Amino acid sequence: MFQSGFVKLLRDGKGFEGTLIAAAVLYLVVFAAFPLVYTVVMSFQEVDMFTLGTLVRPFAGLENYTDLFHRPEFTPIVWNTVIFVTLSIAFQLVIGFGLALFFQQDFPGSTYVRGLFLAGWILPALVVGAVWRWIFAGDFGVLNYALQSLGLIDGQIYWLSNPAYALYSVIIANIWLGVPFNMILLSVGLAGIPGDVYEAAEMDGANAFQRFLTITLPMMGPTLGAVIALGVIFTLQQFDLVAALTQGGPANASNVAQYWSWQMSFQTYEISGGATVATMMIALVIVVAVIYVRSVQREHTF
């Protein structure tokens, strides 16, 4: 009797709604909110191997942060991260937009070929990393072979172990990985611009380039904002590719913040240092997320 009453409470009306909410909130608390808050808390604590098992640890104030800022690798890694994010997004966006515009043209098979582009995106980043490792390989890599055959370079370039190239090699692989995603989102945006608006512009005397500048670009603004914001978030999460290609090396030449945070937390057990880097990245991502949400809202204003 009690049992069926309880089941009924869960199944009907307010009880059912409450159950759904509780399930979602429970999931978020356990798997998102707690780790997030715990990371932020740890960035203000002294954490070492002996206090790992407890939640109550000595308060460290901003010591973890000042300590981090004074590390010699801090500035290069931040700079690497900026280059990594900026170049990745710039090229992903330009190439993705170009492809989206290309496949927007009406030619036989355009939708199928566009679909095939997604194949790259659904590969795990670790697999992509392994493939690019072979492409970039100094002695037998296909990239060196191609460049040598074209007569562009004489010797071999050690893409992944030369500090001058390592970061850019990771960026190239990341651009390749991110282009299909950008293309698909931008294609959706392009498809949302009514055809008769272009026709009206054509009647009004706009050539193809003017139509792009005065119709396509402004009407794509919200979509571009959303794609850039998502791109920043995804690029700041791009851990697998770094792990698969260079592990941040040589000598931090290709190290980026997200990988550095992992190294400190799980390789050198400077857990508070790792948490501090992570906390700063959380702050940055929140800012970007706000921009993203605003962009998405603006998408509906046209």
How many residues are there in the chain?
A: 302
Number of residues that bind other proteins (CB under 8 A): 20
By the rule CB under 8 A, 105 interacts with other proteins: no
Buried b (16+ CB within 10 A) or exposed e, 241-266: bbbbbbebeeebbbbbbbbbbbbbbe
94 binds other proteins, rule: CB under 8 A: no
Closer CB to other proteins, 9 or 215, in the complex: 215
Minimum Å gap between C-beta 210 and other proteins is: 6
Q: Which of residues 245-274 bind other proteins (CB under 8 A)?
A: none
Integer angstrom CA distances of residue 123 from 90, 128, 129, 143:
22, 7, 10, 21
3-state class of 99 per DSSP?
helix
End-to-end CA distance of the chain: 55
> In whole angstroms, what is the distance from residue 190 CA to residue 212 CA?
11
Q: Pick from 20, 218, 251, 286 the residue near other proteins by CB under 8 A.
A: 218
Mention every residue, 6+ apart, whose C-beta is less than 8 A from residue 81. 236, 256, 257, 258
The verdict on 214 binding other proteins (CB under 8 A) reads yes
| Residue 199 binding other proteins, by CB under 8 A | yes
- Tokens, residue 71: 């590390």
- At residue 45, the 3 state secondary structure works out as strand
Q: Which of 14, 154, 196, 209 binds other proteins (CB under 8 A)?
A: 196
Answer for which of 12, 17, 48, 204 binds other proteins (CB under 8 A) is 204
One symbol per residue from 155 to 194: x for binding other proteins (CB under 8 A), - otherwise; what is it?
Answer: ---------------------------------------x
> CB 108 → other proteins: shortest distance, Å?
13
- Chain residues that interact with other proteins, rule: CB under 8 A: 194, 196-197, 199-207, 210, 214-215, 218-219, 221, 301-302
